[in-house]
Structure 1
Amino acid sequence: MVDQMIDVKALGKVAVLMGGRSAEREVSLMSGNGVLAALRARGVDAHAFDPAERRLDELAREGFDRCFIALHGRFGEDGTVQGALELLGIPYTGPGVMASSVAMDKLMTKRIWLAEGLPTPAWRQVHSAEETLAAFEALGAPMIVKPVREGSTIGLTKVMTAEQCEAAYALASSQDPMVMCEQFIDGDEVTCPVLGTDAQARALPVIRIVAPDGNYDYQNKYFTDDTKYLVPCGLPAGEEEAIQAIVLKAYRTLGCRGWARADVMIDRRTRRPWLLEINTSPGMTGHSLVPMSARATGLSYEDLCVQVLAGAALDNPSAIRSGA
């Protein structure tokens, strides 16, 4: 159950930011409407707010006290909305400006993790189909080609042959001018959410993802019931705890707060975990993973939403506008 010390009336007037202008708009609307219904069910004065249809300064004019960010991808998960809310002095859910911006950039995330000794697959940044082919020759098959600043596997290709490199680069670069190639890790695909800030941050149960033919793409993430999510994850003894420890360090290394979810691959042969990326505004749809993991600890969807909302904050707390 949610912390009984949370007074939902004290949370004030809440805007659930959803929709937006990213390629993940459809998923964001599903997340946002789920969060909106959950908060209202718990007595929160919550309202839908789509930044693609309304100016953000209306949040201040209409007296909103805090925001639940249910936006995904660019213009919502990349520090831009977070920066605007900092200027408006309205606390918001999830990591702050810098952590959101860095986590959205998969290359910068990897560079920081590598500097901190955290395991992440080998990669190359590429600027052309020719460089993609060179990366394929260096990294080997299979290889993942994807946009640097996109989510939900949009623009991603699993390259098996050299002949696929040109089309893979074209697809990724159509979503983002920054494109990366990444070594493919064959093994178990898992994800692990984190809730909380600083010393109070804790890793939730690991979820093992079993997708049809091992293809956890956009369709299998959101629009089919064929993908299996295993909680408890059923990993060998000690592996879940090791993954939780790595994910928690990855979360803190980037300066995350509030909540996030990290994706990890476990090498089938060595059983070594490899960090792929971290999502700072996780999905909250009917297929989403954070609610699934939270439920395994006894935390309902509704109470999870209230707990995340109660943790809304600013990078500079003194900037909270008068009356908030």
Structure 2
Amino acid sequence: MIVEVLHDLLPSGPGNGDAREDELDNLVQARAVGAALRSLGHEVRETPLGLDLDAVAESLRSAPPDLVFNLVESCGGQARLAHLAPSLLEALGLPLTGCGSYPVFVAADKLRVKELLRIAGVPSPPWYTARRLTREEREVCGTFIVKPIYEHGSVGLNEDAVVEIRSRAELLNLLRQRRKASGLEYFAEGFVEGREFNVALLETDGRPRVLPPAEILFEGFAPGQQRILGYEAKWDKDSFAYGHTPRTFEFGEGDAVLLRDIKSLAMACWVLFEMRGYARVDLRVDAGGRPFVIDVNPNPCIAPDAGLAAAAERVGMDYETLVGAVVRAAIQDPA
């Protein structure tokens, strides 16, 4: 089978030293997936996708593959445009791996995700935008984590992301300052002090399978050091956070009910956002043992060292088997 691996066209060109680590990781995924596909006996082609959709469309029309393995996480350097990849493939009538255009489009906007979770009754922390704060009459105070609305991979989540807020005016001013300084649009989400989990899901035989949940540990963090999985923890190999936030799949009997609950929430998100192929749901758990969904990730990182591959390994799937499962799901359930 001919499989086209579609990945990001880096803003400065593939291999350019100016690209961020999270951007370069997309190419790492493409190379790893391509190698696994070749080991499985498939012919592999690689195509970068930027904003010139016509050029990519023409290439795919002239030599259509049997399947497109979609790894696009951003388009033109913007994560909010990632849905252009599955939209294009669906318009061309080409089968593709993972989630289609709808969940990718919705999940790119964290505010839209929050609103849909609220409507569906899925627990998620309260949130504020600058626009909402200008209309809010009640005072606002507490601990918040300030996040970019349209970025993923913990872009924009630094050591100053968690803040103590004493008034509505203070939070509004902070959101405006962050936007001015970075050019990114931010919102504030109530910070859940406690444990962090992620749950991967994989479509198998036409149905979603919840893989073993993983907890992110914050080892050796000093008092007052915020326990969040920020940009450094994910991408800066020389940072303290990177080396002290391992994942674990080992839990005691006392966590049985909690694990059941977070699996149930992950499955609810899969259904709510109409996902297929593979996905990941991130959660925080407060001191009372209550889980809250903090992010929904269609087509999450599928690099060999990422959480999806680690969870798959826990159920006996090596990397090639995982890639093969994603391919089978796409063939059995075409877009």
| Superposition TM-score, scaled by structure 1 size | 0.82
Query: Equivalent residue for 2:67?
Result: 66
* Contact preservation (8 Å) 1:93, 1:258: yes
Which amino acid in the other structure matches residue 229 of structure 2? Y
Asked if 1 retains the 8 angstrom alpha-carbon contact of 2:283 and 2:295, the reply is yes
Equivalent in the alignment of 1:109: 113
CA distance in 1, matches of 2:194, 2:5: 37
Q: Which of residues 320, 326, 329 is equivalent to 1:302?
A: 320
Q: Which residue of 1 aligns with 2:295?
A: 277
Identity %: 26
Equivalences for residues 1-324 of structure 1 within 5 A: 12-21=1-10, 24-52=22-50, 55-57=55-57, 58-73=59-74, 74=78, 78-127=82-131, 138=140, 140-156=141-157, 157-160=161-164, 166=173, 169-171=176-178, 174=182, 176-177=184-185, 179-196=186-203, 200-211=207-218, 213=221, 214-224=227-237, 225-234=243-252, 236-268=255-287, 270-312=288-330
Q: Indicate if the aligned counterparts of 2:37 and 2:323 stay in contact, CA closer than 8 A.
A: yes
Letter in 2 for 1:218: Y
Q: Which runs of 5+ in 2 are unaligned?
A: 12-19, 222-226, 238-242
Which SS does the other structure have where 1:275 is aligned?
strand
Q: Number of paired residues?
A: 301
Tell me if the contact between 2:49 and 2:72 (Cα under 8 Å) persists in the aligned partners. no
Cα pair 1:76 1:82 within 8 Å, conserved: no
Structure 1: segments with no counterpart, 5+ residues? 1-11, 318-324
Q: How far off is 1:284 after superposition? A: 2.1
Distance in 1 (CA, whole Å) between partners of 2:270 and 2:205 is: 10
Of structures 1 and 2, the one scoring higher in RCO (CA 8 A, sep 6+) is 1
How far apart are residue 62 of structure 1 and its match? 2.2
Show CA shifts across 1:83-114 (max 9, x none): 10011111111122212111221111111111
C-alpha distance in structure 2 between counterparts of 1:76 and 1:17, whole Å = 17
2:330 & 2:297 partners in 1: Cα distance? 17
Given the superposition, is the C-alpha separation of residues 105 and 313 from structure 1 closer, same or farther in structure 2, using an over 3 Å criterion?
farther
Distance 1:93 1:137 in 2: 46
Superposed CA deviations along residues 270-291 of structure 1, whole A, max 9, x for unmatched, are 1000001111121123431000
Coordinate RMSD, CA, aligned: 3.0
Q: What is the CA distance between 1:172 and its match in structure 2?
A: 5.1
Normalized against structure 2, the TM-score is what?
Answer: 0.79
